[in-house]
Structure 1
């Protein structure tokens, strides 16, 4: 299955959450690939990949060189990004086309992985582009290839208020392009252990009758920063810290929502 953690707002830890949801799934035995669509290459740097000559996302989409993914741990693979990646050079389905292109044996890249996650920068959805062949943002290209998406949030007014607006734009984008993408829900990340704002915003979701908010959430933890500085996941750096436990719980709920596990 292919998915994306999407939000047009920055500062909600999309890349870190993508990295650790992916690595947590790999630890559970799911073969997982992360693809870096961000020209800033934050995901690529977070896992310690520095060689710009390595097979990257441009090579994949443009069918250059030999297909090669970096294995960072058991079941855990990365396709590095490129600072030369410009999304509006490509048609909306460029990534989907290559992920579902059949090899001579009849299999596709998607067939070789249980999960593929597409990491995007904060980018907007522009419904006015619906009749154009190009000029699509990274998130539009990612959504067009995806089976599901999630929206990470911070526990603050701006993030929560913009969440419904962004979901509405995604819904219009899906309708315009006849896409069927499963929205798994919102989840809070970057939570300070000392703040009560998460409970306040959780109550707002509950009062609106929404079951779209994950029960599990991700707390801030200095261990994550230390892990990234070493090019490691939190499970490689400190598997017993609180954020590692948070990601394990979040991953369990993620799998339940997909009906992969009870």
Structure 2
């Protein structure tokens, strides 16, 4: 079984990147796919949001060679696994700067992954060495995007970086698509930014949008995905729709 590795990136914080990684991953697992989430963000918000607060080992232990990836995985159910992150990834990133082939460490780590349909990487909110590692290891990039004017500038930076990585480090890399998140149809700006996107961006924009939903904000406090916290909520239904569209593409 071939594994598809997807980097979920946005260099701006608070854009729904971690929320999308968790809930898209959980939705895919609910649809029968075996999914691994990789918490590459030193803030480790993904791990915390799934109630992995004091893991015995983390991704930092794998980067240093002390553990194999399979030894650190936390099973949330039979189809849903997490490779926890930690603040120690800050030190890992600093040490990578001086290494040869520093962009390929994660690619080599993930080469040992077997049996998963999808690996979703929650990248740091910056275009850093760790993010370059994720892009080098991935076949696809998914970009969650708020309908705000400043996010358009950030989107252009992401697309330029993806193009550069594709040219220099990973020729198979492609943009899977852009997912509109925190969508509020009552705001005129939302429809204006969406219209601009449709006109000016060549990449695929998902038909399914993730609406602004208080339950999505509550779920991490309970250590659960939205699909486990409140499966009847708009947030759960929206991420299921995104996952179904994701599988159709």
The verdict on a shared fold, with TM-score over 0.5 as the criterion, is yes
Residues 87 and 211 (structure 1 numbering): CA distance in 2 closer, same or farther, change over 3 Å? closer
SS class of match (1:213): coil
Match of 1:3 among 6, 25, 48: 6
SS class of match (2:103): coil
Aligned pairs for 1:154-165 (under 5 A) are 154-165=146-157
Taking CA–CA contacts closer than 8 Å with sequence separation of 6 or more, which of the two structures ends up with the larger relative contact order?
2
Aligned residue-pair number: 237
Q: Partner of 1:128 in structure 2? A: none
Q: Aligned partners of 2:51, 2:121: CA distance in 1, in Å? A: 18
Is 1:151 paired with 2:143?
Answer: yes
Residues 3 and 211 (structure 1 numbering): CA distance in 2 closer, same or farther, change over 3 Å? closer
Deviation per residue, 1:169-215 (Å, 9 max, x gap): 22012212243212112121112353233322222233337352111
Q: Is the 8 A contact 1:71 1:77 kept in 2?
A: yes
More helix by share: 2
Q: Is the 8 A contact 2:184 2:190 kept in 1?
A: no
Residues 212 and 223 (structure 1 numbering): CA distance in 2 closer, same or farther, change over 3 Å? same
Q: Partner of 2:214 in structure 1? A: 222
Q: Aligned partners of 1:95, 1:208: CA distance in 2, in Å? A: 33
Residues 58 and 211 (structure 1 numbering): CA distance in 2 closer, same or farther, change over 3 Å? closer
Q: Partner of 2:77 in structure 1? A: 73
Is 1:95 paired with 2:106?
Answer: yes
Deviation per residue, 1:74-102 (Å, 9 max, x gap): 300011111111323232111111211xx
Is 1:49 paired with 2:56?
Answer: no
Q: Aligned partners of 1:187, 1:88: CA distance in 2, in Å? A: 31
> How much is the aligned-residue C-alpha RMSD, in angstroms?
1.7
Is 1:186 paired with 2:178?
Answer: yes
Structure 2 unaligned runs (5+)?
97-101
